[in-house]
Amino acid sequence: MSDKTANEISMNCPICGWTPENPDYLFLFETTFWRVILAPNQSLLGRCVVHLKRHSGDLADLSPDELMEWLTVVQRLEGALRSAFGAVMFNWSCYMNHSYRVESPNPHVHWWAVPRYKQPVTFGGVTFDDPHFGNPYDPHQWFDVTGEMRQTLVDRIQQALTMHSAV
Ligand SMILES: [Zn+2]
C-alpha cells in the first residue's frame, strides 16, 4: 500500500481523526501503541474504548509488541475500574462490525472495555445498574451522561490509574 493510499484511508477514519478536543470521547491514558478513551454510552459505568494508535483493521495484523502492551492496558484499566467503581469483571470485545455496513469498509482496531457489576453503583448522585450481569450486556442499552459527569468519571478513573501505573 502506498503512503498516499494509507493517508487517504486514515483521513476517513473516525478513530484516526480523534483529537483530545472531542467532547464525547474523553481521553483517559495512553501507552506507546494504545489510547484509552471514556465512551459516551455509560449504561455500564466506566465503559471505555481502547484505540490502536495506528490505522490497522485486523487483529491478525498486530505486532507482538502491540499485543503484549495491550495486556498491560487491560491490567491497568481493569485495576482502575475495580478500585474506582467496584467492577466485578469485564467484557472485552473487538467487533468492528459497523465499518462493514458500507461499500468500502475501513475498519480500525479498537477494543470495547465494558465493566460489569453485580450490584447497582451510585456515583455522583447517579445510580448505574447492570440488569444483565452474568449474561451478555444489551448493546442497545444507552445511558448518555452529562458532560460534567463525564469529566467527573475521567477524574475518578485517572485518580485510580495512578495506583495501577506500575504493572
Ligand atoms: Zn484509523
Query: All domains of the chain, ordered by start, with CATH?
Result: 3-97+105-164 (3.30.428.10)
Look at residue 133 in the predicted model and tell me its pLDDT: 97
C-alpha 59/C-alpha 116 separation (Å) is 24
User: Ligand 1 centre from 12 Cα, in Å?
Assistant: 8
Calculate the CA 45 to chain-centre distance: 12
Q: Distance between CA 74 and CA 77 in Å, rounded? A: 5
Q: How far apart are CA 49 and CA 35, in angstroms?
A: 8
Which residues line ion ligand 1, judged by CB < 5 Å? 10, 13, 15-16, 55, 108
pLDDT tens profile 42-96? 999 999 999 999 999 999 999 999 999 999 999 999 999 999 999 999 999 999 8
Q: pLDDT tens across 92-122, in order?
A: 999 988 889 988 889 999 999 999 999 999 9
pTM, full prediction = 0.92
pLDDT of residue 166: 53
Q: What is the pLDDT averaged over residues 131-159?
A: 95
